[in-house]
Structure 1
Amino acid sequence: MQHIFSSLIWIFLFGLQACTGNLYNQLSDIAEGKDGKLIFVTKSNLNGNLLAEAQNFFPQCSGLSFSEQAADCICQAEADAAGSSFPKKGLKFHAMLFSTAADLRCKIQGIDSTVCDPLQSDDMIYGFPTGFIDCGPDGCATPVPLAKNIQDLLAGKNILHSLTFDSPDNRVWTGANGNGNSSGQNCNDWTSNQATFTGSLGFPWHTNAGFLGGTDAQGCDLSAHLLCIEEF
């Protein structure tokens, strides 16, 4: 009996070591940019006219004509401005936004269209705990896994962690509902900063459907951040 009990303890400890080792290796790979897709929240806080906001505050976005491109440009500008330790330096990022011209699922594949092949990926989705890009001269904060894949994240299910970013406006523009589809509320395709138009919001500190969207919307004269994701 003692021999059996000892064997069971050994099996448990071996399994625990394997699991924690795999998790450690996975997070190490993520931190080094080897695995997974990164999400971050922009530090920029923007009204609903994303085209004008991009042109006014980001010189590299001044020549753009479409709001979807402008939102992507804002995400890319913040990624490019990150320190040299940022593991995703040089890769493409897109804003997680719906509009009448672009489906979010197409957009994050680099396709500005409402029609594209279904997005299926086994890449883990992860982010820095603060939501913002959290890298400095000495390295980056330890990333946290948010979802096993993009399908879970868009559906607002099995979300593993929340992003608790410190901002008075702790919400993001998405134009999405809680099912990962367009809500139809998109600040006139992200070209209006008028209170007469509304835009749907996501709350990345939620671990349910509210992460990307739900029933919450606000006037486009108000501000929110953007949620940016590495291209698939």
Structure 2
Amino acid sequence: MTADTSAPPLPSPAELRAAADRLVSALAAHDDPEYRLTVLKRLARRLGEERYPLFLRLLGVVAESDDERAQRLLAETFGTALRRMDMPGGALSSWGAARLPDPSAPLAASAFSGHFFGAAPQRLLGPVEYLTVWHLQRTQRTALGAETFRTALSRMIALLNRSDDARALYPQKLAADAQNELEGAYTRATRERLAAIAAAWKAGQSPEDVAQAALDAQAGDTPANWVVRDL
């Protein structure tokens, strides 16, 4: 099988650090939290849905740094997003969400779109939900490996904990999502894992323990012979 030469090359560590620095500088240049959220959402949109993992990696670069001010800026911007219920999100295919057309309704040409023939609809997911779905569900991406999921999730939670709003509101959102059987967005197993993350996070456990709670809850749920990848 030949390599896919159409995909853009992955940025080097130096390029990632430079991009993360530009992001933090753009956020720091404005005092208005709403404008900062606009900057963050614009970056996610510019990268596009297929490169949302790169957006997560940029957040991870800041989380891994020793720049607490930069971490607070990012976390507080996510706190604003949570208050507004307007998260910079990425999309993953929700397999099994497509439905047959309503037989009582007129048959429109759109009924024979890609969704009807199995291309699943997509929903925008925040960073924690995206990582969880990527790890647990069959999507358009190769599944995320358990160790990579643990590392990425604990790093993300540590970053978000820099904001009181994000630390309080994100577990509430995850708990609500876990109770809401959104059509095709989450499997039952994923809702259980989101609930486990929410409970451990709300209880004030360390980011590492929150990530471990998610892994402990999902033991045995990933079908055998899945191909997994790193972030």
Q: TM-score, normalised by structure 2?
A: 0.29
Larger proportion of helix: 2
Mark the structure with the bigger radius of gyration.
Answer: 1
Which one scores higher on RCO, CA 8 angstroms, separation ≥ 6? 1
